[in-house]
Amino acid sequence: MIYTVTFNPALDCVVRVSNVKHGIVNRCVQQDIYYGGKGVNVSVVLNNIGIPNKALGFAAGPTGQALLTGIESMGVDHDFVMLPEGQTRINVKMVEIADADDVYAAGEETAINASGPNIDAASLSALNETLEQTREGDIVVLSGAAHKSVPVDAYASIVAAQAAKGVRTVVDVTGPVLDCALSAGPFLVKPNDEEIAEILDVEDPTFDQIVEGARMLQEKGAVNVIVSLGSKGSVLLDEFGNLHQAPLIKGKLVNSVGAGDSMVAGFVGGYQQAVEAGLSGYERYEHAFKLAQACGSATAFSAGLAEKDLVDELLARL
């Protein structure tokens, strides 16, 4: 079973606007509401491609209830902890489009993210109790930054506790939380090229430097490292030292929201499929990485998150 954990989910409101003028009222040409948060996105994509999973995390207030009702309507199984105070955040993303008749055209994006509710110690303990249901061979995905009220070592504690049971963990977060979690040995981390540049303290890393940065993350404790390279595709450095490269799949960019989360969904779902099929270590990673590319691209080419038909179509091209 795959479990996702979202410490700070959100209702994501995406407005598409033509001919933006600042300082006055603007009318959007399209508004979409998505049930978001990085771990929630992973669960939705896994559900869309037919891979069983359960979404865990924290929700609060009326917006939290709306989030849970929404993902239930999409068929996502969940067991969220309801916080005693506050409200699940609402994030706003404005996409400036050139043609009002082509509402899902790519455009400059401006995001305003809320901070979210405090997470008290009792609620954090409740999440840890929920995670006691995992079993050897399961995968737990920890995605997205937590609220500042959460201790910096919270992810590391979960990784260590799950590793003791033979559960693989994915940590998709940045900064001190990632640094702390690396010491616990996560199965996968997924930085992008900008984050690798920060690790190496360089402005525009070369391909060799990106690989060097991935190896540094392995030396710090990560078992596998995927680095997304934007228009240059992505690379996977697996636990055996093999480097898997994938160019960007060609298609019309519509949406950047959730593309990285969709890659994570494809990877963990593909890895689980490969294990169940009895594939060898190298073949497991080849299959998982291909499904990661297909899922990430399917989201990038869609108004919402990846759907199975498009994922299958793109997978056939790899």
Q: Which residues are identified as catalytic?
A: 261
CA dist list (Å): 72 to 50, 199, 214 = 15, 39, 37
CA dist list (Å): 156 to 122, 142, 198 = 18, 10, 21
